[in-house]
Structure 1
C-alpha cells in the first residue's frame, strides 16, 4: 500500500472520529449524517481534494510572508506554510472548524519523520496588559485548567468521546517581557489511560502586539515534545509585528485595551479553547497530521502510525 492510498484510508477513518466546536453544537445532525452510507464517500472526496490543493499551494522556506496587516513570518528553511484558503479548506475537510482569526498552517518540510503541525492565528483582542505576569502562580493556574477540563467532560462524554484530564505542565507559563512572547504547554490524557501511555501536547506560543496577538499552537505527543520544542521556539522568533503595530507602539489614550490580562491567555481564554485543543490533540495529532505529511510528501509517518519501526 503506497503512502497516498494509506493517507486516503486514514482520512476516511479520521472523519468518523473528529469532532469540533461546531459539531458539538449540531451533534444530532452530525450523527444523522454519519448514518448516511454515502456521506463517507462524499467527505473522503473532499479530503482528497483539500490535500491536493494544500500540496499545490504549499510555500516553502526560506521566504518572508505577510501576516495580514499586522506583521511578518520569516519562514526558515525546513518549514512550509499552507496559506489561508487551502488551510481552511483542509481543516474543514478534516472536521475542524476555523474562524476569522485563522491564518494558516505551518508544517515541517524535509525533516524526515517529523511528527507535528502548527496552527497560526491572529486575535484582534486589543492591547493585553502584562501586569499579572509578575504575580501568577503556575500551580494555581494548573489547578484552574484541570477544573475547567473536568467541567467540560460531561459534554464530551455525551457526544461519545472519552473524558480528558490535564496531567501536568510540559512547560509552565513563561513571559518574555522584552520581546512580548508568552509560552506555555500542557499534557492532556484520556481518563483511565494506562500508566505510561502517551499523552497529547499542545505547545502554545504567543507574540503580543498593539492591537492583539499572534497565537501559534504546535500539536504533537508528550513523548516527542522535547524534540520539537526548538521548532516551536524557532517559529515563534520568526514572527514579528510591523512598525506601528508593535506592543511598544501602544497609545493609552486612543487604543483598545483587552478585557482580560496576560494570565487569561493561559487560564480563562485558553480554558474556553481547551475542548478544541484537546480534540485536536487526541484526533488531529494522531491522524490528521499523518495524512497531511504523507500527502504533501513531508514525512514518513504512515509507517509510524501502523507500527513503530516499520517503513511506509
Structure 2
C-alpha cells in the first residue's frame, strides 16, 4: 500500500510539474521544503560527536545536520524506518532538499564491544558475498512484513579493504530495491574503537560510485575517536569483546538498516506530502517559542 501510494503520488507530481499545474497540496509541500531548508542549521568545521566520543573534522565544503534534524530528514522527508543516528553529513554543494542530490553520509555508533581484527587477512570476500546474499533473502521477509520493499544484493561495488594502521574498514555494496530500475550504492565505512565502532554509511545511486570514490579518502580521514575511546586503548581486563571479527562486521545484518535512504533518489521530493504536517510538529518541538522557558 505504501509503495503504491508513493508511486501514484510520484506520477501525479511529475505530470503536474510538466504541465506547470501544481495542486494546492503540492504547492504546500514545496513551501514546506523551503521552510525545511531555511530552518536547518548546517554545521561546518570541527565537531564533537556524542559529547567526547569522537571528533568529526568536516572536509572543506562538507556540512553536517545533528541527530534531531537528521532523523527528520531520514524518516519524514525520505521515508526510512527509524534509525538512532548521530547525524548526517553532506558533500560540497548538496543539502537535504537539494535539486542536485548526489549522496549523503549517515553517521551512527554501535557499542558491541572491541572488534578483534585477527581474521582480517584470512577472509575470502567472494565466499562472504555469497553468504551475505543468502542472508539478504531471509531478511527480506521482515522488510516485506513491515511494509518496505525487498532488496537484492547485486554484489560488491568496491571490494572490502581494511586499513590495519588506522583501524578503518570500508567496502561498497550494489543494491536493487524492488520496483526500481535504479540501483543503489551502499558504501560502508567502519572506524574501530575501544568499545565499538563508528558507522559512516554513504548512500546514493550506483552512478555516484565514481564521485564517492573521489571523496572517500576525505570521508575516511574526517573522523577519529577521542582519547579514552581509541582502538589501541583497549584493556582486555575491563573491556568487553564483540562476538564477531572483521568478517562478521562486513556481513552483519545486510538489509536490516537498508531502509537506509530507501528512496528513489531521482524523485525523492515527492516521497511524502504528509511530511508537511510532520514538519509543523517537528519545527515546534525543535525550535520552540523564543519566549518559552
TM-score tier (shorter):
0.7 to 0.9
The 3 A distance-change label for structure 1 pair 93 and 245 is same
Q: Could you say which residue in structure 2 is the equivalent of 1:32?
A: none
Does the 8 Å CA contact 2:184/2:205 hold for their aligned counterparts? yes
Equivalence map 1:87-166=2 (5 Å): 87-94=70-77, 95-100=79-84, 102-110=85-93, 113=100, 115-157=102-144, 162-166=149-153
Deviation at 1:233, TM superposition (A): 2.8
- Secondary structure of the 1:122 match is strand
The answer to whether residue 71 in structure 2 is matched with residue 66 in structure 1 is no
The answer to whether the Cα contact below 8 Å between 1:57 and 1:83 also exists between their aligned partners in 2 is no
Residue 63 (structure 2) aligns with: 80
Aligned residue for 1:4?
A: none
Q: Which runs of 5+ in 1 are unaligned?
A: 1-12, 19-40, 292-312
Q: Secondary structure at the match of 2:257?
A: helix
TM-score, length-normalised on structure 2? Answer: 0.72
* Aligned with 1:280 (options 257, 260, 266): 260
Counterpart in the other structure of 2:275? none
Provide the C-alpha distance between the structure 1 equivalents of 2:266 and 2:253, rounded to a whole number of angstroms. 22
The count of aligned residue pairs is: 244
- The offset of 1:56, in angstroms, is 3.0
| 2:185 is the counterpart of 1:205 | no
In the alignment, which residue of structure 1 is the partner of 2:203? 219
1:89 shift after superposition: 2.5
Cα distance in 2 for residues equivalent to 1:164 and 1:119:
19
1:178 equivalent among 160, 165, 175: 165
Q: Following the alignment from structure 1 to structure 2, what is the Cα–Cα distance between the partners of residues 160 and 238? A: 35
How big is the shift at 1:91? 2.4
Structure 2 residue runs of 5 or longer lacking an equivalent are: 8-24, 272-293
Give the Cα–Cα distance (whole angstroms) in 1 for the partners of residues 147 and 194 of structure 2: 42
Distance 1:108 1:290 in 2: 22
3-state SS of the aligned residue for 2:39?
helix
Alpha-carbon separation, structure 1, partners of 2:172 and 2:246 = 15
The two structures, once aligned, show a CA RMSD in angstroms of: 3.1
Alignment of 1:29-68 (within 5 A): 48=32, 52-53=35-36, 55-61=38-44, 63-68=45-50
Q: Cα gap change, 1:234/1:71 in structure 2, threshold over 3 Å: closer, same or farther?
A: same
C-alpha spacing 1:113/1:286, structure 2 compared with 1 (3 Å): closer
Quote the offset at 1:281 in angstroms: 5.0
Q: Counterpart of 2:248 in 1: which secondary structure?
A: helix
**Superposition deviation, residue 123 in structure 1:** 1.0
Counterpart of 1:245 in structure 2 is 229
Q: Structure 2 vs 1, CA of residues 15 and 73 (structure 1 numbering), >3 Å: closer, same or farther?
A: farther
More helix by share: 1
With normalisation by structure 1, the TM-score equals: 0.68
Partner Cα distance (1:266, 1:126) in 2: 16
Change (3 A) 1:133 1:107: same
Per-residue Cα deviation, 1:1-36 (whole angstroms, up to 9, x for no partner): xxxxxxxxxxxx999449xxxxxxxxxxxxxxxxxx
Q: Deviations over 1:110-139 (max 9, x none)?
A: 369451111000111221101111211111
Q: Which deviates the most, 244-253 or 52-61?
A: 52-61
